[in-house]
Amino acid sequence: MKAKAKRRISITIIPQLDDAMIQISKENGISKSSIMEQAIASFLKAKLVKDAKALSKMKFDDLPTEDEWLTIQND
């Protein structure tokens, strides 16, 4: 497995969010970039759960049979 490569990014955030990140950073002794990394990871995990739930609700009862697929592919 490859080592996690980190990339530097630049973002523009609203002052209220920056102030909150500074406060959390001071209270917990962690960097603002670490806070942002954790927030993005949390967002992506939540999105993955939401997307997985949406996929689990999909119905696949209307799929063609193997013979119908062969006909479709050969057309």
pLDDT tens per residue across span 22-54: 999 999 999 999 999 999 999 999 999 999 999
What tokens were used for 72?
């479709």
Sign of CA dihedral 5, 10, 12, 18: positive
CA–CA dist 38, 41 (Å, integer) = 5
pLDDT of residue 6 exceeding 90? no
pLDDT of residue 4 exceeding 80? no
Provide the pLDDT for residue 62. 80
CA–CA dist 45, 49 (Å, integer) = 6
State how far Cα 28 lies from the chain centre. Answer: 25
What is the pTM assigned to this prediction? 0.63
Residues 6 or more apart in contact with residue 72 via CB below 8 angstroms? 64
Provide the pLDDT for residue 1. 55
